[in-house]
Structure 1
């Protein structure tokens, strides 16, 4: 006599319940993940600016020349250039996606002693009505500070 063996596996009902739970969890996680992505974009942009400041400052001291930092096009959001006094480019940043950058000046010059001719602020804000913002302050000494929130 052949006995009925015990079958292994999941029923259709169990699979549908599991799929429903996964869909609900994904719906809750997606909005917070978008905020996380925006925060990381702003943090990356602030780090890129700070790195460019450090490059311009160190090269001005090393080469004993003025180094200019200016937007590569009209807007700082389109990227920026770090250039020597003779016009040769040391660094060109890529366009920033999802971040609006507003600076207090059109360019900044690092003198041969590492100081900046004028201090300034860079306001970094997320696009699309995001309330997340960062403020990068360039000090006269050539150093920079990154603050949470919009620039005052």
Structure 2
């Protein structure tokens, strides 16, 4: 009985919490030519505590977005839509999210190998995973990066 009550409380708390997402990216270039690029967005399994929201950017809706985003009875975009629809929207706009978080913390590794008159250069760039929230307004989505309070 106690387990059922705990599960119900957990379910209610998770429904009322704002959805969080995690973004990270990797870029690699060899001899100044980009040969690997990946960006990933996933749903956060836990909610952050004691964080501030810092405005990152806004994403305009495309016609495709408007066809699948859930709307309220008044015809405006529903901010309380299922997390799967939010994740679909964010994955459709990965390139723009990359630009939004371009000021995020980055780790860089660079190596240069020289042999006689030849040089080979390799650079790895990794965006440290960061948490963010998305709010859906009537004409655009607002992206806020989550920053721990100090």
- TM-score of the aligned structures, taking structure 1 as reference length: 0.26
The structure in which a higher percent of residues are strand is 2
Higher relative contact order (CA 8 A, sep 6+): 2
TM (norm. structure 2) is: 0.26
